[in-house]
Structures are given as C-alpha cells and as structure tokens.
Amino acid sequence: MHEITIDERDWENPQDLMEWLKDELDFPEYFGGSLPALYDCLGDICEPTSVTIVRRDPTPDTWFDKATLAFVRSAVENDDLKVRVR
C-alpha cells in the first residue's frame, strides 16, 4: 500500500502541493494542477493508497480545505483510496 501524509503547514500555496502530489501519486504528465484535475486523477488511482491529511487551520473555504474535500470525495468513490483527516 502506498501511504502519504499531507501536513497543511508544509504547503504555502496550492501549486507546490499539486506539483508534489503529481510526483508522489504518479499522476499523468497532462495533470493540470487544478482542483477538478486533482479530483479526476484521484479517481483514477488503481493501487491501494492511504492518505493522511493533517489540518492545522480549520478555516473553511481555504485552498487547502478545498483540496481536502477533493480527497475526501474521491475516497468515497474510489475503493483504492483511503483518506483520513486529522
């Protein structure tokens, strides 16, 4: 099983997180780094993958909050993706 942890305080902007996710989760070259593209690529994960998201700022509607929601929603639809938010 592939396991990653995403700690909110490690990411100052969405571009850096998306670039890291592209490499870490082996997203295709055409991954555009937007939230819809993230959601699509998470849905295509075909190997068991566990993601732990560590929230530090519970403020809703931040870019990190929206990325977290993309992970959570994708995990509902993709049995190979498990997401835990702390």
pLDDT of residue 59: 79
Below-50 pLDDT ranges, the chain: none
Domain 2-26+33-85 of CATH type 3.30.370.10: yes
What is the spatial distance between Cα 75 and Cα 81, in angstroms, rounded to a whole number?
Answer: 5
- In the chain, which residue ranges form alpha helices assigned H by DSSP? 14-24, 35-43, 63-77
Tell me what pLDDT residue 57 has: 80
Matching residue, tokens 């082996």: 26
